[in-house]
Amino acid sequence: MKLEDTVDAFVQGVRAESAPLGEGRLSGLTFGVKDLFDLADVVTTFGHPAWARTHPPAAATAPVVKSLLQAGANLLGKTKMVELGYGLSGENIWDGTPLNPQAPDRFPGGSSSGSAAAVAAGLVDFALGSDTGGSVRIPASYCGLFGIRPSFGAISFAGARALAPSMDTAGWLAAEAGVLARVGDALLPEGDGGTVSGPLLRLEEAWINARPEVAQALHPVIETMTERYGRAIAIRLVPEGLDTVYDHFSSIEAEEIWATVGAWVMAERPSFGPGVAERMDAAERLDPAVAAAGRVFRRMLQKRVRPLLAGGAVLVYPTSPCPAPLLTASLAERDAIREATIGVSAISSLCGLPEITLPIGSASGAPVGLSLCADHGRDRALLAFARETADMLGLPI
């Protein structure tokens, strides 16, 4: 029986499906794939009709997708995304914006919007997305899901369309902590990357940045976690301010996306939707010195944060400072939310760290998430820590 797409999560047209290529850890599970990962003989649209029109079908399936199929998972289709992955609300004026099943009057989050919508609606057990500056974590938070951005380089990004190659990762979303961990077992490198056992490091800049209703929704969870893991230690990581984090991240991202797709943009001069158009124009005009300063800041931030996490500590903070923006929000309102959000989400992106968001509760009638962030390479340990925490909090496992 054909799957009914009740939330407009999947790419229009012939559904790109694939039966499992073997049996393994993921046997019996279904999944969707963000439409920037290649499937053999299928056009990768990258969220834009002009890209689809000017690119041939893929010659091979992306290794990360093939690994999921070989582990026994059943692919039910490609999921929608923000055009070229360059947005955070989930809006796509060309393909249609997926519905947020947990808050239908709000955006689903992006750029992995279709992946989040498909999982939240129960259409698939998990979905593959990509995360550069929050594109898995933010839709997970907006749609009440678990989501992971793995350590940079932990999972192959071959066969995927790049946004900012020095920060792009292949992540995934699930409605249950156990499923999130099972996918990690199938994809992550074997070996001991170190433990994750605490202490909890409360990132004060992120808590101050959060709207009061979001902080209030998450505070009781931190109190419960301290009973298990000990007192949360308040730290300040970015005395320069989160605006500075956003500015430096955005400059690196803009330079890299223009280096990646700029030739195509100049040749085709495609139209872009609101927000994406302005960011792409800015990327074309970016002063190289600004991006160079961003890379200097990134190295400095890495030197600050990694020693703090080397012993197994965990950063804890709101995944997003606010719930998903309303569908009626103006572009200016959405841009303000995007900047406030990326000021926090870019920390793990710039430092190459694994981060997991937990679906903790709600604020203003919409889901909000709590992030756990560990040292580079401790992805398996962080997944185990997240599952233990989810069990303690009574979340789906």
Known catalytic residues are 34, 111, 135
Please choose, from the candidates 108, 154, 96, 156, the residue with its C-alpha nearest in 3D space to the C-alpha of residue 135.
108
- φ/ψ (deg, to 5) at 128: -85, 135
Helix runs in 188-287, H state only: 204-209, 212-229, 242-268, 276-285
Tokens coding 10:
């999947």
> Six-digit token pair at 25?
């850890």
Q: How far is CA 206 from CA 224, 293, 321, 325, 373, in A?
A: 19, 23, 7, 18, 13
Q: What does 273-299 look like in DSSP terms, one character per residue?
A: -TTHHHHHHHHHH--HHHHHHHHHHHH
Token duo for residue 108: 């689903």
Question: What is the number of other CB atoms lying within 10 angstroms of the CB of residue 156?
Answer: 14
With 0-12 CB in 10 A as exposed, 13-18 as middle and 19+ as buried, what is 195?
middle
Tokens, residue 225: 């976690």
Distant-in-sequence, close-in-space partners of 188: CB < 8 Å, separation ≥ 6: 150, 154, 155, 379, 380
